C-alpha cells in the first residue's frame, strides 16, 4: 500500500453531460449547449456527435445553422448543480476525502484513496467500479490514479478511460502532454513556443537554474509539475446530501406522455441515489415551469417511504392527471426527501396484508373521483365549533406494542346528520322533547353549555348544549346531547351517551 494514492475523476463538456444524462432521446444525437444573450450566443459545450458534424466551441448560433441535425440547448446552471451533486455522491461512495478541482466547463474531483485496497481491491478494480457507477448515472468520465496529486489531475484531463500510473513513473506518464495542460499565461506559452518546447517532457528536461533565472520562481513549480513531483496540501470538503433532479426542455412540452418519459428517468435517478444511502423516498415535490404562467407545483407523499420505481411513477401519473398544468412545460424539477423504510414482521399464521403501494394508488384514484377534500385522514381543528375537522393526506404510523389502550368509561355516539326534535321548556329548562316517533320526559338536564364564534363570517355559529337524562314512554332511560341552534331557532338531538 502507498502512503499517498489519488484518483481523479474528470468529466469534460459538463454542461452538455448535465443536460443529456436525463434525455435518453438525445444521447445519440448531435447536441451543442449555448450560453450568452441572444443573438450573441456561442457554443460552450458539445458532445462527440456534434464534433463529428463540424461544431466547435465558440461557434455562434448563426454559424451553427449550416450544420444539419444539430440540436441546440440553452445552458442550465441549475441542472449542472444537480448533476454535479449526483457525480459527487457516486464518488463519495468510494472515499470520504474529496477535493474539487473543477474549472470552466469541466467537472473534476480528486479522491484520496490511500488505504482503500482492503475495501475495494487493487486500484484498477476500484477505478472500474467507480466508472461503472458513473456510467449508470449518465456520465462519460476519464480516470487517472497516481501517488502524486497533480499527476493524477493532469493525466485524467488529457486521457480517456482508466489510467493507473505506478509510483516513480510520473514523469514518463506526463512526458507527451502538451504545455497547454499547465494552463500558463499567454506570454509564457509564447516563450516556450519560441524555444521549441511543446510537451511536458521537453519542459522537464530543461535545467532548473537557467529556467528559473529566465522565467522566475514560478518556473520551478512548472518543472516540478512536469516531473510529477509537485507537492500539494489536500483540501477535502464535506458535500451536502440532497435529492434533486432538474431537466430543461429546448421546446415546451405539452403532452403528458412526453413529460412522464422524462419523469421516469428522474425517478430512477432519485431512487438509485436513495438506495445507495440505504434510504427510501418519503416525499417528492414536482415543480413545472410553465410557458407564460407561474410555476405549477405538486407534492406526492406515499403512505410509506418507498423505492418502487413503477409505483412512484404511477403516483406521479395520477397526480398530474388530477392536477394538470395549465400551459406547456419548459422545465421539470423533482426534489425528494429521504426517509427510512418501515418494516413489519408478521406472525407465522397471520393473514397477508395488502401491499402499501396498492393503498396509495387506490387513495389517488379515489381523490380523482370524489375530490381532494373528501379522501384522507380527518384531523380536528383548533376551534370550539362542534365537529370541525379537515382532511389531510393519509400517512401510516406504527405504535409500540407496549402502549396500553385505556378503555373509555363512556362513549359519545353522534347522529349524522343531527335529528330535529320538538322541545317543551319549563322554567327555561328542557322538560319534554319529541323526535317524531316517541316522546321523552326529561328527568335531569345539565347546562346550557354555550358556544359561539366566527360572528364575522357566513359560517358563524351560536349554540346551547344540554346534557339530558330522559325517560321514554316505555320507561327506558336515555342519555343524550340536545343542542339549541340560535341562528336557525331549532332544537336537534346531536348524540347519545353509551
pLDDT bin (cut points 50, 70, 90) of residue 342 is low
Domain 6-227 indexed as CATH 3.30.70.270: yes
- The DSSP secondary structure of 387-454, one letter per residue, reads T-EEEE--------TTPPPPPPS--EEEEEEEEEEEEEEETTEEEEEE-SS-EEEEEEEEEEEEEEE-
Task: Decide if pLDDT at 480 tops 70.
Answer: yes
Who wins on pLDDT, 395 or 435?
Answer: 435
- State residue 454's pLDDT score: 84
Q: Which residues contact 113 (CB under 8 A, 6 or more apart)?
A: 5, 6, 7, 94, 95, 123, 126, 145
**Tens digits of per-residue pLDDT, 63-83?**
888 888 899 999 999 999 999
> Rounded to an integer, what distance in angstroms lies between the CA atom of residue 468 and that of residue 479?
6
- The ranges of the chain annotated as CATH 3.30.70.270 are 6-227
Q: Taking phi first (over 0 means left), then psi (-120 to 50 degrees means alpha), and beta for anything else, what does residue 124 get?
A: alpha
**Cα-flanking dihedrals φ and ψ of residue 181, to 5°?**
-65, -20
- The DSSP secondary structure of 138-176, one letter per residue, reads T---EEEEESSHHHHHHHHHH--SEEE--TT-HHHHHTT
Instruction: Tell me: cis bond preceding 212? Omega within 30 of 0 counts.
Output: no
pLDDT bin (cut points 50, 70, 90) of residue 377 is confident
**Cα-flanking dihedrals φ and ψ of residue 131, to 5°?**
-65, -40
Who wins on pLDDT, 239 or 347?
Answer: 239
Q: 243-339 has which fold?
A: Dna Ligase; domain 1 (3.30.1490)
8 A C-beta contact, residue 281 and residue 336? yes
Task: Decide if pLDDT at 1 tops 70.
Answer: no
- State residue 193's pLDDT score: 92
**Cα-flanking dihedrals φ and ψ of residue 238, to 5°?**
-100, 110
pLDDT bin (cut points 50, 70, 90) of residue 43 is very high
> Rounded to an integer, what distance in angstroms lies between the CA atom of residue 258 and that of residue 237?
38
**Tens digits of per-residue pLDDT, 93-112?**
899 899 999 998 999 999 99
Task: Decide if pLDDT at 403 tops 60.
Answer: no
- The ranges of the chain annotated as CATH 3.30.1490.100 are 243-339
Mean of the per-residue pLDDT values of the chain: 88
- State residue 355's pLDDT score: 67
> Rounded to an integer, what distance in angstroms lies between the CA atom of residue 303 and that of residue 300?
10
Average pLDDT over residues 400-406: 56
Amino acid at each position: 500500500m502507498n502512503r499517498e494514492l489519488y484518483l481523479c475523476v474528470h468529466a469534460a463538456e459538463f454542461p452538455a453531460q448535465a443536460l443529456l444524462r436525463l434525455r435518453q432521446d438525445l444521447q445519440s444525437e448531435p447536441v451543442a449547449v449555448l450560453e450568452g444573450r441572444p443573438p450573441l450566443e456561442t457554443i460552450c459545450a458539445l458532445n462527440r456527435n456534434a464534433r463529428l458534424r463540424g461544431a466547435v466551441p465558440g461557434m455562434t448560433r448563426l454559424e451553427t445553422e449550416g450544420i444539419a441535425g444539430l440540436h441546440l440547448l440553452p445552458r442550465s446552471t441549475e441542472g449542472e448543480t444537480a448533476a454535479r451533486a449526483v457525480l459527487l455522491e457516486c464518488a463519495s461512495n468510494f472515499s470520504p476525502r474529496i477535493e474539487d478541482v473543477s474549472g470552466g466547463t469541466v467537472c473534476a474531483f480528486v479522491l484520496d484513496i490511500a488505504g482503500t485496497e482492503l475495501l475495494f481491491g487493487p486500484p484498477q478494480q476500484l477505478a472500474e467500479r467507480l466508472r461503472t457507477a458513473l456510467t449508470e448515472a449518465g456520465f462519460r468520465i476519464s480516470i487517472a490514479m497516481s501517488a502524486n496529486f497533480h499527476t493524477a489531475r493532469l493525466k485524467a484531463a488529457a486521457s480517456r478511460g482508466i489510467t493507473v500510473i505506478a509510483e516513480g513513473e510520473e514523469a514518463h506518464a506526463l512526458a507527451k502532454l502538451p504545455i497547454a495542460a499547465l494552463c500558463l499565461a499567454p506570454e509564457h506559452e509564447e516563450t516556450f513556443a519560441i524555444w521549441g518546447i511543446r510537451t511536458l517532457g521537453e519542459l522537464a528536461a530543461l535545467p532548473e537554474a537557467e529556467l528559473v533565472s529566465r522565467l522566475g520562481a514560478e518556473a520551478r513549480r512548472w518543472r516540478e509539475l512536469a516531473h510529477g513531483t509537485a507537492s500539494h496540501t489536500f483540501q477535502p470538503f464535506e458535500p451536502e446530501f440532497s435529492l434533486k433532479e432538474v431537466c430543461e426542455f429546448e421546446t415546451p412540452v405539452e403532452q403528458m406522455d412526453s413529460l412522464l418519459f422524462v419523469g421516469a428517468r428522474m425517478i430512477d435517478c432519485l431512487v438509485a441515489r436513495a438506495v445507495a444511502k440505504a434510504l427510501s423516498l418519503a416525499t417528492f415535490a414536482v415543480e413545472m415551469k410553465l410557458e407564460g404562467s407561474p410555476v405549477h407545483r405538486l407534492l406526492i407523499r406515499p403512505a410509506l417511504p418507498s423505492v418502487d420505481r413503477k409505483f412512484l411513477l404511477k403516483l406521479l401519473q395520477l397526480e398530474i392527471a388530477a392536477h394538470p398544468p395549465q400551459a406547456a412545460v419548459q422545465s421539470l424539477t423533482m426534489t425528494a426527501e429521504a426517509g427510512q423504510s418501515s418494516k413489519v414482521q408478521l406472525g407465522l399464521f397471520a393473514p397477508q396484508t395488502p401491499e402499501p403501494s396498492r393503498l396509495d394508488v387506490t387513495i389517488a384514484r379515489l381523490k380523482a373521483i370524489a375530490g381532494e377534500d373528501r379522501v384522507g385522514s380527518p384531523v380536528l381543528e383548533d376551534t370550539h365549533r362542534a365537529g370541525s375537522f379537515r382532511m389531510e393526506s393519509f400517512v401510516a404510523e406504527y405504535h409500540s406494542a407496549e402502549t396500553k389502550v385505556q378503555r373509555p368509561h363512556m362513549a359519545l355516539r353522534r347522529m349524522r346528520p343531527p335529528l330535529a326534535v320538538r322541545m317543551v321548556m319549563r322554567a327555561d329548562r328542557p322538560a319534554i322533547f319529541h323526535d317524531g316517533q316517541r316522546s321523552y320526559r326529561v328527568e335531569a338536564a345539565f347546562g346550557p353549555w354555550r358556544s359561539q364564534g366566527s360572528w364575522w363570517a357566513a359560517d358563524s355559529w351560536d349554540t346551547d348544549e344540554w346534557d339530558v337524562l330522559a325517560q321514554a314512554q316505555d320507561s327506558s332511560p336515555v342519555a343524550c346531547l340536545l343542542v339549541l341552534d340560535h341562528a336557525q331557532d331549532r332544537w336537534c338531538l346531536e348524540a347519545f351517551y353509551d
